[in-house]
Amino acid sequence: MVIAEQRILRGDREAECGRLERAVVAADAQLGLLKLQLEGRHSGEGQDLIEAHRLMLRSPEMAGEARRLITDECLTAEWAVSRALVHIRSIFAQLDDAYFRERGGDFEVVGERLLRVLLGLPELRPGAAAPSGAIAVGVDISPLDPFHLHRAEIAGMVSESGGPTSHAAIVARAFGMPYVVGVGELSSKVRPGAMLIVDGTHGEVIVDPDQDVLRAYQLRVDDLRQRAKLLEATRALPAMTSDGVRIHLAANVETVAGISTALSAGAEAIGLFRTEFLYLERADFPSEQEQYADAVSALQNAGGVPVTFRTLDLGGDKLPLAMKIPTGPNPALGVRSVRFLLRHPEILRRQLRALYRAASVGPLRFMFPLVSGVGELKQLRAICDEVRAELRNDQIVHDPTTALGVMIETPSAVLTADHLARRCDFLSVGTNDLMQYTFAADRENEAVAHLYQPLHPAILRTLKSLAGIAHTAGVPISICGDMAGDPFLSWILIGLGFRELSMDPDRIPLVKAVIRGSSLAEAEALTAEALELETQAEVSVLLEARVGLRFASELEGFRPRTPNVVREEPVGTGARDERGRQVPHHN
């Protein structure tokens, strides 16, 4: 950042010090907000770093020295800060210890933040300073980071913490960004400026690959693109098994713009619109009118295709800036989703009013996440009744017949699914959370990522039971967790009785290819065998032998999420995610 060398009049020194102080307060507030965003996430390192930055900001070396330069030498606040930075740089450059020398970079970042405030420039977001095509490497990546990083044209991400079904991973996939999570001791293995290959499919990060490895990956990238093109040709074809059973493939989206991508991939519906992502970054909660406008534009983008909105699923790792949600010692088990909405019914009411109104514009239905049983559902339904009555009394156009669904994401919902099914219009199984709570394994914690086991007998039995309950109750049921989009699992899911699957848009062509190349009869036979097995590993072997072999060419380059292979190659990693893509590393 180039700062003009300007001086002020002696009489203006006090005012200039005041300007500096206000900028320090504003920069500190930015850091405070960032810290709030990180709160409740299990890596405390991000928060510690922010606290360190706040201390640096107000330190004698930074704000103190700048104030001295304004007072003693009549410099402008900007020039004073940049002179203070020159001094700090010279001190750090003399240090013998490489680790401490590098900490000087933190002062640079803090100084730049302060300078941007003084110059009236917008706050730098993650990735904004990195060149296009760079890789973001971090300890902890929040669900919001992929939005910023995508905007900054960052090509991929790697983090020490996180699981493959963490919300950051879900958003990264929606943007087609390769992301490898759970890479231990990243900072000691990756230095800024290194070349990195981020192979999201196999969960591998290769540091400074040689020419042969680079060439091999370039070929893989070309091959994957070629395959994607071929699969695009199936866009208009129905997902129908060879024995004539129709499976409906829908898409999960986080943004209104994502709907067009979903339709291009062949989505027949939007099976899950994660509405909270539209509002996480705001300092306030959206008004009814804004939510109405967003829902209407989603419906317009969908062009007549049905859209299932999920009511705000806040808490856990998705913390809005608008309000501090008391997460408690274990955020995933704390005030999340409908628990939060029931504590703040005014927020729920606003969204429900918007949704009931938008439903009069196009095919819309909505569902509640993380419902634990009929007690909660009754409370939620009572609020829906009141909202509809209000809209009717106020003569506001709305659709009182809007279908209301329940997400099955907790073991208590599974065990009471028959009751829930009688009291709603449809069910949708959120297998990401359902697995988190069934295995008692935090989906954000890389140390237990191996317990994401969609083929574990507990999950197979659970899904079988849910499909049966929905069938008996005559209520439609879908799966919208990540496992719905894993083509290796398609036989199992249709074999268990599911006919609606909602997934990341880019998985639709693959899943469709598998379904069109299979009969329900063989899927059911395999499922019956799988249900006899005792471990996820055994079921995986069975699937590899049937589905893996049959679709070897379609699934080339795509590996199932299980079993969770940990490789020891250059940087070993845990879980995998997304397509492989070779990209340079810059930050």
Q: Which residues are catalytic?
A: 167, 480
From the list ligand PEP, Mg ion, none, pick the one residue 583 interacts with, judged by a Cβ distance below 5 to 8 Å according to partner type. none
Q: Considering only the stretches 80-88, 124-132, 431-439, 565-573, report the one whose residues sit in contact with ligand PEP under the rule CB under 6 A.
A: 431-439
Contact set for ligand PEP, span 309-328 (CB under 6 A): 313
Q: What tokens were used for 467?
A: 């499909």
331 binds ligand PEP (CB under 6 A): no
CA atoms lying within 13 Å on the CB side of residue 75 = 20
Which residues fall within 8 angstroms of residue 333, CB to CB, at 6 or more apart? none
Q: Which is nearer to ligand PEP, 88 or 455 (CB)?
A: 455
> 355 and 318 in contact (C-beta within 8 Å)?
no
486 binds ligand PEP (CB under 6 A): no
Query: Which x/- pattern over 206-245 shows residues binding ligand PEP (rule: CB under 6 A)?
Result: ----------------------------------------
Helices 65-73, 77-93: crossing angle, 10 deg rounding: 130
430 binds Mg ion (CB under 5 A): yes
Smallest separation, CB 462 to ligand PEP (Å) = 13
Q: Which is nearer to ligand PEP, 266 or 481 (CB)?
A: 481
Q: Considering only the stretches 115-123, 147-155, 430-438, 516-524, report the one whose residues sit in contact with ligand PEP under the rule CB under 6 A.
A: 430-438
> 550 and 506 in contact (C-beta within 8 Å)?
no
Considering only CA atoms, which of 404, 401, 400, 402 is closest in space to residue 424?
A: 404
Q: Which is nearer to ligand PEP, 30 or 431 (CB)?
A: 431
Q: What tokens were used for 567?
A: 């490789």
Q: What tokens were used for 153?
A: 């044209």
Question: From the centroid of its chain, how far is CA 136?
Answer: 15
From the list Mg ion, ligand PEP, none, pick the one residue 85 interacts with, judged by a Cβ distance below 5 to 8 Å according to partner type. none
Smallest separation, CB 449 to ligand PEP (Å) = 15
DSSP 8-state symbol, 37: H
d(CA 177, CA 133): 11
d(CA 172, CA 169): 5
d(CA 411, CA 116): 49
Q: Which is nearer to Mg ion, 140 or 409 (CB)?
A: 409
CA atoms lying within 13 Å on the CB side of residue 186 = 24
Among 43, 82, 351, 432, binds ligand PEP (CB under 6 A): 432
**Site for ligand PEP (CB under 6 A): how many residues?**
11
409 binds ligand PEP (CB under 6 A): yes
433 binds ligand PEP (CB under 6 A): yes
272 binds ligand PEP (CB under 6 A): yes
463 binds ligand PEP (CB under 6 A): no
Q: Which is nearer to ligand PEP, 78 or 294 (CB)?
A: 294
Query: Which x/- pattern over 363-402 shows residues binding ligand PEP (rule: CB under 6 A)?
Result: ----------------------------------------
Among 278, 371, 480, 530, binds ligand PEP (CB under 6 A): 480
Smallest separation, CB 313 to ligand PEP (Å) = 6
Among 182, 258, 362, 481, binds ligand PEP (CB under 6 A): 481
Contact set for Mg ion, span 397-416 (CB under 5 A): 409
Smallest separation, CB 445 to Mg ion (Å) = 16
> 162 and 182 in contact (C-beta within 8 Å)?
yes
CB atoms within 10 A of CB 438: 19
In our burial notation (b when 16+ CB lie closer than 10 A, e otherwise), range 547-573 reads: bbeebeebbeebbbbbbbeeeeebbbb
Break the chain down into helix, strand, coil percent, rounded to 5: 50, 10, 40
E strands along 369-458, which residues? 404-408, 426-429
Which strands form 156-159's sheet, in the order they lie side by side?
135-138, 156-159, 179-180
Smallest separation, CB 58 to Mg ion (Å) = 40
Q: Which is nearer to Mg ion, 198 or 484 (CB)?
A: 484
Amino acid at 268: E
d(CA 234, CA 218): 26
Classify strands 204-207 and 196-199 as parallel, antiparallel or unpaired: antiparallel
Smallest separation, CB 500 to ligand PEP (Å) = 13
Q: Which is nearer to ligand PEP, 40 or 111 (CB)?
A: 40
433 binds Mg ion (CB under 5 A): yes
430 binds ligand PEP (CB under 6 A): yes
From the list ligand PEP, Mg ion, none, pick the one residue 486 interacts with, judged by a Cβ distance below 5 to 8 Å according to partner type. none
Q: What tokens were used for 568?
A: 């020891």
Q: Which is nearer to ligand PEP, 266 or 271 (CB)?
A: 271
Amino acid at 429: V
d(CA 39, CA 29): 15
Residues of the shown chain interacting with Mg ion in the complex, contacts defined by CB under 5 A: 409, 430, 433
Residues of the shown chain interacting with ligand PEP in the complex, contacts defined by CB under 6 A: 170, 272, 274, 313, 409, 430-433, 480-481
